[in-house]
Amino acid sequence: MAKRSHIAVISIPAFSHQASIVEFCKRLVEHHDHLHVTCIFPTIDAPLPATLTLLQSLPPNIHCTFLPPISKQDLPQHAPSPVQIQLAVSQSMPSLRHALSSLLSTTSLDALISDPFANESLEVAKVFNLLSYIYFPTSSMTLSLFLHLPTLHQQVPCAYRDHKEAIQLPGCVPIQGRDLPEHFHNRSSLAYDLLLRRCERLSLAQGFLVNSFSELEQGSERALQEYTNRVYLVGPVIQTGSSSDPKESECVRWLEKQRPNSVLYLSFGSGGTLSQQQLSELAFGLELSGHNFLWVLRVPNDTPDAAYVVGSNDDPLRFLPDGFLERTQARGLVVTSWAPQAQILGHASTGGFLTHCGWNSALESIVFGVPMVTWPLFAEQRLNAVLLTEGVRVGLRPKFNENGLAEREDIAQVVQDVMVGEEGNEIRSRIEKLKVAAADALKEDGSSTRALYQFGTQMANFLGQP
C-alpha cells in the first residue's frame, strides 16, 4: 500500500480496552508506516486518568480525541458497569458521527476499527462508506462465542448456567454454562439483550483483529478461519513500558531481595474487587501457605467490578485481618490499588501470578512465563480461566464452595501446588514454551506479524490500491 491511509479507531470507556487498542495501534503503525491513526474515545464524566498518562508517549502518526463526555448521572445508577459503559457508548454515537464527518472534511479516511462493545460504529462507518473492522482485545475463543451467540440463543432454551451439557464452540475446549460471562445468566436482562444485539451486528465487519497468537489458540483460529477467512491473530498485544510511579521502585527494590521464583504476585486488574469475607479468607490463605507474596490490595466491595465505576478514598490496609501485616512482614509486601505489573511479572523473583484472568493480564503472564492461579471475577474472565486451565493448562483454579467463597485452606493448597508442587513444575514447563512461542509470533517472520501484513493487504485490496 504505497498510498498513505488514514484509519479511525474507537474504543470504550474502560482502561483495559483503551490500553489494548492503543498498544495495537502502535504496533500497526510500526509495521505500516504509511498509516495514520486517529483514536477516538467515548467518555463517562471525564477521560480516564490512566489513559491520559498512556497517551503521553504516542508516535507522531497516532492522534487521539475524546468525545464529549456522557454524564454518569444520565446512566442507570444501579446498572452493572458493563451496561453503563455500553449505554454511554450508544449515547456517544452522534458525537462519533460528527467526529468522523470533521475528519473527512479535512483529510481522507479509509477505515474504522471498533471495539466489539462499540460496534454501533459499524453502522456509522457504513454511512460514510468506510471499511469496518473489529479489534477484539480478548481471546479468539471469546470471538468464537460472540460470533455463535445468535445461534446459541436459538439452540439453548434455558438459562445457560442451567444447561446440563457442555457448550462446544468450534475448535475450543468445552465450556460449562456457568463459565460463560455473567451477562449470559439472565436472558431477560438488559445486559444480555445489549450483548446479543452487538453479536448480531458483528456480521457488518469486514474482518476481525484478535489480541491472541496462533500457537496459543490453534484450534479456535482454524475454526474461525473456516467460518470467515478474515480473522487475524495479531497478539500478544500488551503494555511493557515502565512508569515513574514511586510504587514501581518500591516493588522492584523488594523483589530484588527475594529468591528466584519465590514470590506469588496477586492482582485483580484495574477494577476487580473482592468482598470483605473473601478478602479475609485470601489473606489467611496466603499466611497459611508460607510463601512470599506481593499483593495489590483494593478496598473490598460485594460487586466484583466495583472499582471500574466507583472509586474509594478508604485505606485498603484497614480491611485486612488484625495483625496480618505484622505477621507476614518478613515475607510479604502489600501495595494499594496499583503496581507495575509488567515489571513484576518480568522479575526473576516472581514465580506465580494469582490473577482475575483479564485477558491483558493472562497474556502478560504468558509473555513473561509465569504460572497462574486463575481467579475469575466478571466479564469473560471465567471463559479465559477455562482456556488457561483446561485448554493450554498453564494455571490452576482454586476451589469455591457452594456460596462462591474460596476458603483459606483451599487457597493455601492451590498456592502450594502452583509455586512448588509437581503440577506447578509441569505448568512452568508448558508456559515457558508458550513464552517462547509468544516472542516468536511477534518476530518479523512470526505468525502475528504476518497476520498484520495480511490485514494491510486485504484492506488495500478493498480500497483498490496497488
> Are 220 and 287 contained in the same domain?
no
Number of domains comprising the chain: 2
> Are 65 and 183 contained in the same domain?
yes
Percent of the chain that is helix, strand, coil (3-state, to 5) = 50, 15, 35
> What's the mean pLDDT when you consider all of the chain?
94
Angle at 118 between CA 388 and CA 104, to 5 degrees: 130
pLDDT digits (tens, 9 = 90+) for 278-288: 999 999 999 99
> Are 198 and 278 contained in the same domain?
no
Domain span at residue 260? 246-439
Is residue 231 in some structural domain?
yes
The per-residue pLDDT for 1 is 41
SS3 129: coil
> Are 71 and 115 contained in the same domain?
yes
> Are 294 and 422 contained in the same domain?
yes
- For position 300, which CATH number holds? 3.40.50.2000
Q: Which of 32, 36, 115, 305 is catalytic?
A: 115
Whether residue 339 is predicted with pLDDT greater than 90 in this model: the reply is yes
Whether residue 74 is predicted with pLDDT greater than 50 in this model: the reply is yes
pLDDT digits (tens, 9 = 90+) for 358-402: 999 999 999 999 999 999 999 999 999 999 999 999 999 999 999
Is residue 153 in some structural domain?
yes
The band of 270, judged by pLDDT with boundaries at 50, 70 and 90, is confident
> Are 29 and 175 contained in the same domain?
yes
Is residue 191 in some structural domain?
yes
> Are 137 and 200 contained in the same domain?
yes
Nearest to 170 by CA among 209, 211, 223, 128: 223
> Are 266 and 385 contained in the same domain?
yes
The pTM score is 0.95
Q: Which of 17, 183, 291, 347 is catalytic?
A: 17
pLDDT digits (tens, 9 = 90+) for 179-234: 999 888 889 999 999 999 999 999 999 999 999 999 999 999 999 999 888 999 99
Is residue 402 in some structural domain?
yes
The per-residue pLDDT for 463 is 81
> Are 85 and 140 contained in the same domain?
yes
Cα–Cα distances in Å, from 331 out to 288, 328, 402? 12, 6, 32
Catalytic residue list contains 31: no
> Are 447 and 428 contained in the same domain?
no
Is residue 241 in some structural domain?
no
> Are 196 and 51 contained in the same domain?
yes
Is residue 397 in some structural domain?
yes
Catalytic residue list contains 17: yes
Is residue 97 in some structural domain?
yes
Is residue 37 in some structural domain?
yes
> Are 224 and 253 contained in the same domain?
no
